Amino acid sequence: MNNYAVVYEWAGSNYSAYVPDLPGCVACGDTLQETEELIKEAIELYLEVLKEDGKPIPKPSTKVGQVAVTI
């Protein structure tokens, strides 16, 4: 099992998500929960298509974190 980093963004009226290690793997939803479910499905489909096409499965390499700053 691989754990891919996912970036979630509030787009003003909905959420969007993308996977830096899987170019073009994106999802949008009305809620964060819906977007989480949709991006999971998108990742699974993305990897399934790569496998069917005989292409290598990218290993997760993106690191995420948060930095606290005082303003």
CATH number at 52 reads 3.30.160.250
Buried b (16+ CB within 10 A) or exposed e, 6-24: beeeeeeeebbbbbeebee
Instruction: Print the domain residue range for 20.
Output: 1-71
Give residue-wise pLDDT tens across range 12-63: 999 999 999 999 999 999 999 999 999 999 999 999 999 999 999 999 999 9
What's the pTM? 0.90
How many domains are there within the chain? 1
